[in-house]
Amino acid sequence: MTDKPARKPARPHFSSGPCVKRPGWKLDNLATDSLGRSHRSSIGKERLKDVIDRTRKVLEVPDSHLIGIVAASDTGAVEMAMWSMLGPRPVTVMAWESFGNDWVTDTVKQLKIDPTVLTADYGQLPDIASVDPLNDVVFTWNGTTSGVRVPHGDWIADDREGLTICDATSGAFAQELPWSKLDVVTFSWQKVLGGEAQHGILILGPRAVERLESYTPEWPLPKIFRMTKGGKLNDGIFKGATINTPSMLCVEDCRDALDWAEGIGGWRGMKAKADENAGVLGEWVSRTDWITYMAPDVSVRSNTGVCLLLRDERIEALSDDDQKAFVSRMVKRLEAEDVAYDINGYRDAPASLRIWCGSTVEREDLEALTPWLDWAFEQEITALTA
């Protein structure tokens, strides 16, 4: 019987979104002079513009691309692009996990477009090379619920005629994004930055702007989706004039996170730290006989939301529901010990553990976690077979 480990993670926050705050984060670190002020005031607009400017610097977004802060997190940013830009060309939607499937549903059932849908099971990637460059394409860069990411942007044609709409949440700040290949990029602060919820980032390349100014959708657009006035881009959105009221507390929190990100080397330093963190789990998986990756192909395996399957034959003999119940008992046991919070797999995914390895996680906390995972598994398998 494995003894209960003596050492616990200093920060047991391994949730995949919202993910843990940066190391050393304190509420007292945040500027407060913008709180209680209008986001239309000079200080409000200055702070919003500061987030845009620092995002550009940390992510190395080229001047050709515009950056805006929009409503409703990454979901709002993706749907803002889809509702405003899809329609004039054939559409391809790729789905290999839950959020990609949401964009399929939006395209088929809400916009009533008949897209080409490229799918793959959890842990796999669709045939990205088969994407028609004549089509608009909607895809996630990093599949948070399956632990699968696209390995690069080489499959996106430089002379494409369609737009690329990329949901990059949980990938931005942790993986290299080829900006010349991406016409629309979206993400949210609560993923890799460890920021607060409900705000999305929308990045538009020149081809996306051209689409907005040359195409009017057949369907009505809600106010929070409207990016043009009189057929021209409302460029105020990309200078800090948000369509609806943002939380200035969340804005100040994002500024703090971007300060930290810049201090560790921008997205490159954040990626290096995420790679190192994912490597800690990789070393443990390689020597552990009851666990394996949901994504068997290392070239498409995420370095942020790492998804793991239980491969013990006693677990595999159980029904899907019983496998999920087993994992849930493990997760609850770890949470009760204040060792790991929120590491159950996504509700629509197979029975799994999902452990965040982004750069706001400390390596030593992951090193402290893995013996506890072994302990929790042994406790539950012993109870199951007693």
Pair 304, 246 in one domain = no
Give whole-number Cα distances, 236 to 167, 265, 383, in Å: 23, 30, 60
Does residue 359 form part of some domain? Answer: yes
CA angle 154, 296, 192 (to 5 degrees): 65
CA angle 301, 322, 344 (to 5 degrees): 40
Domain count, the chain: 2
**Domain boundary at 222, 241, 262, which?**
262
Residue with tokens 């477009």: 113
Pair 69, 50 in one domain = yes
Instruction: Check: CB of residue 107 under 8 Å from CB of residue 135.
Output: no
pTM of the model: 0.97
Rounded to whole angstroms, the maximal C-alpha distance in the chain is: 71
Give the pLDDT of the chain (386 residues) as one tens digit per residue: 678 999 999 999 999 989 999 999 999 999 999 999 999 999 999 999 999 999 999 999 999 999 999 999 999 999 999 999 999 999 999 999 999 999 999 999 999 999 999 999 999 999 999 999 999 999 999 999 999 999 999 999 999 999 999 999 999 999 999 999 999 999 999 999 999 999 999 999 999 999 999 999 999 999 999 999 999 999 999 999 999 999 999 999 999 999 999 999 999 999 999 999 999 999 999 999 999 999 999 999 999 999 999 999 999 999 999 999 999 999 999 999 999 999 999 999 999 999 999 999 999 999 999 999 999 999 999 999 98
**Domain boundary at 262, 293, 317, which?**
262
pLDDT of residue 194: 97
Pair 205, 159 in one domain = yes
Residue with tokens 């500027």: 31
What does the DSSP assignment read for 254-316?
A: HHHHHHHHHHTTHHHHHHHHHHHHHHHHHHHHHT-TTEEES---GGGB-SSEEEEEE--HHHH
Pair 158, 297 in one domain = no
Residue with tokens 């290949």: 181
Nearest partner of 175 among 153, 202, 207, judged by Cα: 153
Nearest partner of 145 among 352, 370, 375, 287, judged by Cα: 352
**Residue 281 and residue 300: Cα distance in Å, rounded?**
16
Does residue 312 form part of some domain? Answer: yes
Half-sphere CA count of 64, side-chain side, radius 13 A: 13
Pair 324, 175 in one domain = no
Pair 331, 220 in one domain = no
CATH number at residue 193: 3.40.640.10
CB atoms within 10 A of CB 42: 9
Pair 228, 307 in one domain = no
Does residue 19 form part of some domain? Answer: no
pLDDT of residue 1: 60
Pair 225, 353 in one domain = no
Instruction: Check: CB of residue 286 under 8 Å from CB of residue 113.
Output: no
CATH number at residue 270: 3.90.1150.10
Nearest partner of 164 among 175, 176, 180, 152, judged by Cα: 180
Does residue 14 form part of some domain? Answer: no
Half-sphere CA count of 47, side-chain side, radius 13 A: 24
**Residue 384 and residue 271: Cα distance in Å, rounded?**
39
Does residue 6 form part of some domain? Answer: no
**Residue 263 and residue 259: Cα distance in Å, rounded?**
6
Residues 6 or more apart whose Cβ sits within 8 Å of residue 298: none
Pair 258, 281 in one domain = no
Pair 224, 255 in one domain = yes
Does residue 24 form part of some domain? Answer: no
**Residue 164 and residue 276: Cα distance in Å, rounded?**
30
Three-state DSSP state, 10: coil
Does residue 9 form part of some domain? Answer: no
Pair 152, 293 in one domain = no
Does residue 2 form part of some domain? Answer: no
The one-letter amino acid at 371: P
Q: Provide the domain limits for residue 112.
A: 30-262
Pair 166, 82 in one domain = yes
**Domain boundary at 262, 294, 322, which?**
262
Give first-to-last CA distance, the chain, whole Å.
13
What does the DSSP assignment read for 75-87?
A: HHHHHHHHHHH-S
What does the DSSP assignment read for 135-185?
A: SEEEEESEETTTTEE---STTS-TT-SS-EEEE-TTTTTTS---GGG-SEE
**Residue 153 and residue 141: Cα distance in Å, rounded?**
10
Give whole-number Cα distances, 275 to 20, 122, 173, 266, 356, in Å: 17, 22, 12, 14, 11
